[in-house]
Each structure stands twice: as C-alpha cells, then as structure tokens.
Amino acid sequence: MLSLKQSRASALILVRMIAMLQRGLVCVFFLPSFLLAQDFTGQFPYHHRTHYFDFYATQASPKISEIARFADGFVQLVNRDFFTADFDYPIRVLVFPNRQQFQGFLIQRLHIPDPPNFGIYVYSNKFFATYEGSGLGTFAHEILHPLVERNLKDRPQWAIEGIPTFFEKFYGFWRDSELVAYWGYQNPWRVEQLGGNLQKLDLKQLLADPTHIGASLSVERSESGWRMVSVFLWQQGRFNRFLNLIARHDRGGFPTYFEGAMEMPLERIIPLWQRYLDDVAGQRAKIMRLPPSAILDDENAFTNFANANAISLSQPKNLTE
C-alpha cells in the first residue's frame, strides 16, 4: 500500500500526465521513484523473447506470436527505410487479454486514474503495455516513441507525437522474413476527431513550440493535427528528408527542420498545405471506409486485400537528401 507521501508524489506526476492522454495513445516518460523499482513481469506467466522485444502475457495466444513477428519486422523496417533504430534492446512488452485488464493494471499498479484506451509506453521503465486486440497501429505508434527519443533527439516539439502518429496507419505484407509496408494513409478516427476544424488547421500554430503559445488551442495542438503535418510531408515526398535532417542536426539553411525538408519558407508552403487539407476533406467519406492497419501473409493476399478495400498503392518518391 502506498504511503501518503507516495500518493501525493504519484498525484503530482499524474497532473503532468493528464495533458498527454490523447484518445487512448500516450507516451509516459517518468514515473515516481517508488514505481520505478517495481518489476511487473512476475505476474505474467507466459514469456516470448524475440530479437528486439521481451513479451510477457497472462496466457499463451496466437495473437501474441503475430504481434511479436510484426514488432521485430517493424524495427527492421524503420532501420532500413527511415532512420537508424538504435536502442537498449530488448524492449519489454506487457500484453493483457483485453482492454479491461489493461486499464485495470494501469489504474491499480501505475496509479493512472484516467488510463488510455489502447497502449502506453513507460519510458523510465522501458516497457510498453497494451492488450491483444489493440491493433498493429497502436504497436507501431508506441514503438516509435523510444526510437525517436533515442535517435532523433533534436526533433521539434510537434514531432514528439507527429512522427510516431505517422506510423500508426499502414498496409503491407510479408516477403519471406521481410516486412513490406505502404504509408501515407489518413487515419479515419483522427479525421473524425478533427471534424469541421480539419480545413481550418493553422500550420504555423501546429509547428509552433507549445511553450510559446497559449493553451486554448485544442484541436490544433492535438496529435491528430500533428499527424496531418507528417502525412503532408510524406505526400510531398519530404518525410524521409525531414527525418534525415533531424538526425544530422541540419536545417538545410532554413529556420526549422520542416522548412528545410520542404526546401522553401513557410509562406510558400501554406498554399500547398491548404490544398492538402481541402483534398483530405473532399475524400472524407472514402477515408472513413479505410480498414484498420493490416499486414497480410504474402503479396498476393495483400493485392487482393487492397483491391477489395479500394486502397491506393501509389507511393510518392521520398527524398532522403
């Protein structure tokens, strides 16, 4: 049982965390010291080790093997196609059978009164907690948090969530042991969350350091708005260049990494941004029909899946330099 002093310390940390709880996905960087010393893996009898991850679960399940294969393949994909994915592997993953048990653990053991719906990465303890049905997109999003913090340390504030959220929507297949994925799709629930504000998203305010603006910007400061920026960069063929510039601490002669990636000042980008928002709004009905992120067994199954769901396989040529 927690002492009064520990409870107060936990409450103080939670006050700081409340602003980070966004529609079920959250990255937690620090916990009180009395929680850091706890090893939660003892309550999980099932253990599955991969090259990059240690999975702990309350029961054996084919779903966990599927998640484990994807997780290793995804780290290899990031390392191959996006940026160097160095980390102190393995990352521990706690997998619960369902959302109720996942949220119960967060409430009872981590003392988070308003737990997220899908997954949480606890940076200080180097573990990720989720449940079997949370989806591959959740996994991809949360895996990116420690990889970004380790390898892209100079990322702008908006990209703390803007980069991981980009990776939560994808379709792909296995080519032997290699994961092949297609990117740049809008996420239906995030477009729904933006609602009528979608075409009003202010690019300058989305890119601004949140410590330099007021706290009244609700939609614009959301993860969903930041994801729109990352997908914009991808569709412009500039997302990989953005990542590479951050890794090299090189703004390309511009004030921000975003402008350096686009190789033009913000004033020239804004009309492109507005056309992008208008295009997304015009395709809203089609976006809302997109299925959840999925990885198919092989290329033939993937092609059939893409055709059945009217998923475009067109990908922009992304500049790296």
User: Does the pLDDT of residue 28 top 90, yes or no?
Assistant: no
pLDDT at site 194: 94
pLDDT at site 263: 98
Domains in the chain: boundaries: 1-151
Topology given in CATH for the domain delimited by 1-151: Glutaredoxin (3.40.30)
Better-predicted residue by pLDDT, 272 or 211: 272
With cut-offs at 50, 70 and 90, classify the pLDDT of residue 220: very low
φ and ψ at residue 69, rounded to 5 degrees: -65, -45
Give Cα 19 to chain centroid, integer Å.
17
Query: Computed from CA positions of residues 127, 128, 129, 132, in that sequence, does the dihedral angle turn out positive or negative?
Result: negative
With cut-offs at 50, 70 and 90, classify the pLDDT of residue 215: very low
pLDDT at site 210: 63
With cut-offs at 50, 70 and 90, classify the pLDDT of residue 3: very low
Residue in the structure block whose two tokens are 């299925």 = 291
User: What mean pLDDT comes out for the span 34-49?
Assistant: 73
pLDDT in tens, 151-174: 999 999 999 999 999 999 999 999
pLDDT at site 59: 86
pLDDT in tens, 89-101: 999 999 999 999 9
User: What mean pLDDT comes out for the span 304-315?
Assistant: 97
pLDDT at site 10: 41
* Host H or E run for residue 204: helix 203-207
Round to whole Å and give the CA distance between 116 and 120.
7
Between helices 223-235 and 266-282, what is the axis angle to 10°?
100
Length of the chain: 321
User: What mean pLDDT comes out for the span 183-196?
Assistant: 95
With cut-offs at 50, 70 and 90, classify the pLDDT of residue 2: very low
User: Does the pLDDT of residue 116 top 50, yes or no?
Assistant: yes
Rounded to a whole number, what is the distance in angstroms from the first to the last CA of the chain? 54
User: Does the pLDDT of residue 282 top 90, yes or no?
Assistant: yes
- DSSP of 260-305, one letter per residue? HHHTS-HHHHHHHHHHHHHHHHHTHHHHTTPPPPEEESSHHHHHHH
User: What mean pLDDT comes out for the span 23-31?
Assistant: 46
pLDDT at site 109: 87
Which segment of 41-45, 178-182, 211-215, 266-270 scores lowest on mean pLDDT?
A: 211-215
Average predicted confidence (pLDDT) for the chain:
86
User: Does the pLDDT of residue 240 top 70, yes or no?
Assistant: yes
Highest-scoring range by mean pLDDT, 96-105, 116-125, 274-283: 274-283
User: What mean pLDDT comes out for the span 66-71?
Assistant: 92
With cut-offs at 50, 70 and 90, classify the pLDDT of residue 11: very low
User: What mean pLDDT comes out for the span 286-312?
Assistant: 97
With cut-offs at 50, 70 and 90, classify the pLDDT of residue 126: confident
pLDDT at site 118: 87
- DSSP of 21-43, one letter per residue? -BTTEEEE----HHHHT--GGGG
With cut-offs at 50, 70 and 90, classify the pLDDT of residue 127: confident
Residue in the structure block whose two tokens are 């599955």 = 48
Q: Nearest CA to 76 among 181, 207, 225?
A: 181
